[in-house]
Amino acid sequence: MTSATLSPARLFIVEDDADHLAALCDLLDAAGHVPQGFSSATEALAALDTATPALILTDLRMPGMDGMAFLRAVKALPERDLPVIMLTGHGDVVHAVEAIRAGAEDFLEKPYDAAHLVMVIARALAARATRAEVARLQGALAGDGPEILGESRPIRALRDRIAALAPLDIDVVITGETGTGKELVARALHDGSPRARGPYVAVNCAALPDSMVETLMFGHAEGAFPGAGPARPGKLEAAQGGTLILDEVEALAPPAQAKLLRALQERSVERLGEVTARALDLRVIAISKTDLRAAAQAGSFRPDLFYRLAGAEIATPPLRETGEDIALIFSHYAQLAARRYGRPDPEPGWAFRRELLRRGWPGNMRELKAAAEAFALGLLDLRADDTPALPDTTLADRVAAFEAREIAAALDRFRGNTLRVADHLGLPRRTLNDKMRRYGLGG
């Protein structure tokens, strides 16, 4: 991500050298940001009482309050996420390490490359935006009602589809792979509808015993069959005034499909053992992990029932199509699990996040959530998968495996910054890029 891909950000620049301060402000203004310069840390700290920048860039060595004291003062401010990037002299590497431990986002040694500085700022702003989004997701889930997590194009399209259909009193078919949040979509449709105050009745059609489907779904009169007992309404009546969810609707046997079709056509139901029709006022949402339209065309599901159910259709996207949402949601669930078990917030590294995006996630959100919880407990480590499986039989193979691991570790340490990785490993940039391609370590 470059600065061009982010909204213009307000930046505080703290530098006691007037010429250097002016040059920094000009550079960052040209990069599309809104810099505000300060000649002392005390002046910048006072300005934080009335303004909140997106990022602070400060020199380390300054008269009066130096960069380290300023950093600690900034980090002590309550409920602020202010990334701080430190500028250090050549002999200040020890202090730079101390700054990172004290909470600095990054540091650069003088003299620095202007393009590199702009890139470091863009990366820090992107990291701040990710933290803010994780916090938003956690806040949303802490409230009432369902929340469709993510900001990728497929997820935004899904939310738009839900928002468009929820107020309409029409039946809906939801299809998608296992673990893609079909039940969450159904709940969101109900909660956003005029029926939100009515009952929400969910039926797992695959779990209904064949011998009990009719009575459980449609109810029965007193003494309708041996052992029937008093009259009881079925699930359709139980959803009166609200929403009936038919999960795994494709599992309904043909006789039950036929009776359900009649009930939906007439919006009435006859209990087993009765001849009186009872009026139904409900919305039906059918959920299927199979392509219900294809099943209807193939004859394995009644076509007339499908078209009765499918007043509208929603397809939930698989996790593998949501891109960067994968790492974002993984971090969200990992943090929730860590706090639940009293462990420190986990911090997936660059190489780890890249591996998350590589995986197919056939179990979708359920698999991702389980992996995130295992990671929070220290039971999941993808580092072994950060490098390709190399035959460990010859010296050359073992050297290559070691080299790939070292490059992956450096990429993780420097957050994918190949310029700093090349410098750290003592490699020409082109050689590093060639090795990354050879070992499958590209971003």
For 284-313, b/e burial (b = at least 16 CB within 10 A) is: bbbbbbbebbebbeeeebbeebbebbbbbb
Task: Return the number of other C-beta atoms located less than 10 Å from residue 19's C-beta.
Answer: 8
Check whether residue 263 and residue 365 sit in a common domain: no
Q: Examine residue 337 and state whether it is found in any structural domain, yes or no.
A: yes
State pLDDT tens for residues 242-286: 999 999 999 999 999 999 999 999 999 988 888 888 999 999 999
According to the model, what pLDDT value does residue 4 have? Answer: 38
Q: Examine residue 27 and state whether it is found in any structural domain, yes or no.
A: yes
Check whether residue 99 and residue 127 sit in a common domain: yes
Q: Examine residue 269 and state whether it is found in any structural domain, yes or no.
A: yes
Confidence category of residue 359, pLDDT binned at 50, 70, 90: confident
The residues near 5 (Cβ < 8 Å, ≥ 6 apart) are 122
Q: Examine residue 59 and state whether it is found in any structural domain, yes or no.
A: yes
According to the model, what pLDDT value does residue 395 have? Answer: 63
Query: Which of residues 186 and 213 earns the better pLDDT score?
Result: 186
324's tokens:
């960067």
Contact assessment for residue 38 and residue 13, using Cβ atoms and an 8 Å cutoff: yes
pLDDT at 420 over 60: yes
Distance CA 111, CA 107 (A): 12
Check whether residue 168 and residue 298 sit in a common domain: yes
Check whether residue 208 and residue 249 sit in a common domain: yes
Distance CA 422, CA 138 (A): 37
Model pTM score: 0.59
Q: Examine residue 52 and state whether it is found in any structural domain, yes or no.
A: yes
Q: Give the domain-ending residue among 293, 315, 337.
A: 315
Q: Output the CA angle 315-353-339, nearest 5 degrees.
A: 90
- Domain of 407, CATH number, reads 1.10.10
According to the model, what pLDDT value does residue 416 have? Answer: 72
Q: Examine residue 108 and state whether it is found in any structural domain, yes or no.
A: yes
Check whether residue 167 and residue 286 sit in a common domain: yes
Confidence category of residue 146, pLDDT binned at 50, 70, 90: low
Indicate the burial class of 36 (C-beta count within 10 angstroms; 0-12, 13-18, 19 or more). Answer: middle
According to the model, what pLDDT value does residue 430 have? Answer: 80
Check whether residue 175 and residue 308 sit in a common domain: yes
- Domain of 283, CATH number, reads 3.40.50.300
Distance CA 148, CA 181 (A): 8
335's tokens:
């943090």
Strands, DSSP E only, in 21-77? 34-38, 55-59
According to the model, what pLDDT value does residue 332 have? Answer: 85
Q: How many distinct structural domains can be found in the chain?
A: 4
Q: Output the CA angle 294-297-302, nearest 5 degrees.
A: 105
Q: φ and ψ at 92, to 5 degrees?
A: -110, 25
Check whether residue 308 and residue 168 sit in a common domain: yes
Distance CA 148, CA 134 (A): 13
State pLDDT tens for residues 260-270: 999 999 999 98
State pLDDT tens for residues 366-401: 889 888 888 888 887 654 443 333 344 566 666 776
Check whether residue 65 and residue 40 sit in a common domain: yes
- Domain of 328, CATH number, reads 1.10.8
Q: For residues 127-142, give the mean pLDDT.
A: 65
Check whether residue 25 and residue 79 sit in a common domain: yes
Mean pLDDT over the full length of the chain: 84
Check whether residue 216 and residue 254 sit in a common domain: yes
Task: Give the bridge partners for 12, in sequence order.
Answer: 36, 56
Q: Examine residue 385 and state whether it is found in any structural domain, yes or no.
A: no
- The closest of 352, 417, 411, 412 to 386, measured between CA atoms, is 352
Q: Examine residue 4 and state whether it is found in any structural domain, yes or no.
A: no
Out of 25-39, 140-154, 177-191, least confident range: 140-154
- Domain of 118, CATH number, reads 3.40.50.2300
Contact assessment for residue 17 and residue 40, using Cβ atoms and an 8 Å cutoff: no
Check whether residue 116 and residue 129 sit in a common domain: yes
According to the model, what pLDDT value does residue 419 have? Answer: 77
Check whether residue 207 and residue 304 sit in a common domain: yes
State pLDDT tens for residues 17-73: 999 999 999 999 988 899 999 999 999 999 998 888 999 999 988 999 999 999 999
Distance CA 332, CA 102 (A): 24
Confidence category of residue 189, pLDDT binned at 50, 70, 90: very high
Structural domain boundaries enclosing 433:
395-439
Confidence category of residue 3, pLDDT binned at 50, 70, 90: very low
Residue 230: cis peptide before it, omega within 30 degrees of 0: no
Give the best-scoring range by mean pLDDT among 3-7, 107-111, 297-301: 297-301
